A and B are shown apart, each in its own frame.
Chain A
Amino acid sequence: MSDSKGEFEPKIVVYACNWCTYAATDLAGTSRMSYPPNVRIIRVMCSGRVDPQFVLQAFADGADGVIVAGCHPPADCHYIEGNYKAYRRFELFRKLLETMGIEQERFRLEWISAAEASRWVQVVNEMVAQLKKLGPLKPNLEVRE
């Protein structure tokens, strides 16, 4: 994707937990904070619901970066320990990205509470800047004629 000037505009898929991060994105909107339009937010009930397969699918379908965001550990999770589960999964998932030659900056696991609209804006700004530096993700390079 690129804008009218031809500059690369990264696509970022965000899996946001219903109880904290999605509320934060909502708050950012109602507080009229501005942030880059590169994010596509998918609301999930809990960060613990996000299967690493979803992230792989997003990358395979053309996302340049993925953010999984949920409630702060240890005690904010609406489902007691969903964020714990997400943490353990994505700890291992990062090792997969590393082995497959995909830059670590393309994936972020973030804890953003319902009140942290400014934190949400900051995360998006940072990620967009990082991905612009890295350029588009092409895991499936043209290896065949």
Chain B
Amino acid sequence: MSEKPKVAWYWCASCGGCEESFVDLAERLLKVFEAVDIVFCPVAMDFKREDVEKLPDGSITVALINGGIRLKEHEEMVKLLRKKSKIVIAYGACSAWGGIPGLANLYNLDEALERKYLEVPTIENPKEVLPTKKIIVNIPEAKMKAELELPEPLPVLLPLDKVIDVDYYIPGCPPTPDVFWNALQALLSGNLPPKGAIVGASNRSLCDECSLNETKPEKVLVKEFKRPDKAKPEPNKCLLAQGFLCMGPVTRGGCTALCIKGNMPCTGCFGLLDGIVDYGGKAISYFGSILDYSPVEEKEIKKAFDGIPDWIGTIYRYSLAASKLSHKAGIKKPKRIKEVVEI
């Protein structure tokens, strides 16, 4: 019997939802284990970096990498995995386009660290401890000092393909088990699409597979944008036609419109369709097209757009880091990260 393909699975700046999608394969998981050998998976198994380093170059068949690149450690690990793997797949929205952690690219890292470690209402940090590169810990009982080196954060979050060469993308936040399963089938059967393609999802917009598509009028025109937390959508009627900002028209299909089945407008986690270069740009184009005011009604137009509160979060929820502007202009290297702290 020939050797089973080796699979590595690594996480960078992510929430763990992508791993969850793997577990959600349920019984199909057994088939996955039958078919492949997992050689590296820090979330579930005790493998160390040395184990990967020992493998010969190109010996891993597929490396699945989820999460955005936020730390030097992530950068080093994905470069190592790239060297050891034949195929690298950006798994999930964070890895492919930065995802939700990518929204931090609207801030300097100093601002982000202050917010995270000092300002948020749930944090208690009277000594104002912030991450440092090296911490020296005194242990009086053992009469010794221990040194801890922490991975340094990068000034902005980067999608995987800005750090290493990526072969395929599996979209979604997280990818649904079915999407993952489809992609896995394609990989195991060797029936591979051209490099750089999205695997497992469709290239039609989400509306194409939405159950409410039949109720979508030919020309959608709205007077105001509604929010699902402020207004109750009518069931079984296109959410967009009701004024809820559904990202369906500009989003790739493949999830079978799960959120919409739960009365929640699409937020765009399957990302860009082929031919779109900037998700937010396309979204702006579409918002402008459906708003039913003439330019002389400037106040009404402004008011309608002001009705979108976190509007960068609306148009770039999963793709700010991969957008054309990618981060706020003028982001500088962080000042507040100290070299050494002794405690």
Which residues does A use to contact B, with CB under 8 Å?
51-53, 55-57, 59-60, 73-74, 81, 83-93, 95-96, 99-102, 137-141, 143-144
- Min Cβ gap A96→B in Å is 7
**Residue tally, chain B, CB below 8 Å to A:** 38
Chain A residues with Cβ below 8 Å from B47 are none
- Min Cβ gap A137→B in Å is 8
Chain A residues with Cβ below 8 Å from B311 are 92, 95
Q: Is the CB of B288 within 8 A of A88?
A: yes
If A52-B285, A85-B289, A87-B295 are given as contacts, then 10 extra A-B residue pairs at C-beta distance below 8 Å, sorted by A number, are A52-B281, A56-B324, A87-B301, A92-B284, A92-B305, A92-B311, A99-B312, A102-B325, A139-B326, A140-B327
Chain A residues with Cβ below 8 Å from B55 are none
CA distance A137 to B295 in the complex (A): 29
Q: Is the CB of A53 within 8 A of B325?
A: no
CB-CB under 8 A for A59 and B324, given A89-B289, A91-B301, A143-B155: yes
Q: Is B83 at the interface (CB under 8 A from chain A)? A: no
Q: Is B216 at the interface (CB under 8 A from chain A)? A: no
Interface residues of B in 287-320 (CB under 8 A from A): 287-289, 291, 293-296, 301-302, 305, 311-312, 315
CB-CB under 8 A for A96 and B288, given A56-B325, A60-B325: no
In chain A, what residue has the closest Cβ to B162?
A144
Which residues does B use to contact A, with CB under 8 Å?
106, 154-156, 158, 276-278, 280-282, 284-285, 287-289, 291, 293-296, 301-302, 305, 311-312, 315, 323-333
Q: Is the CB of B295 within 8 A of A144?
A: no
CA distance A73 to B280 in the complex (A): 26
Question: Residue A53 contacts which of B282, B293, B332 (CB distance < 8 angstroms)?
Answer: B282
CA distance A100 to B281 in the complex (A): 13
Q: Is the CB of B325 within 8 A of A92?
A: no
Q: Is the CB of B285 within 8 A of A89?
A: yes
Chain A residues with Cβ below 8 Å from B282 are 51-53
Q: Is the CB of A141 within 8 A of B106?
A: no
In chain B, what residue has the closest Cβ to A91?
B301
Q: Is the CB of A88 within 8 A of B293?
A: yes
Q: Is the CB of B278 within 8 A of A89?
A: no
Chain A residues with Cβ below 8 Å from B294 are 73-74, 81, 84
Chain B residues with Cβ below 8 Å from A84 are 294-295
CA distance A74 to B302 in the complex (A): 18
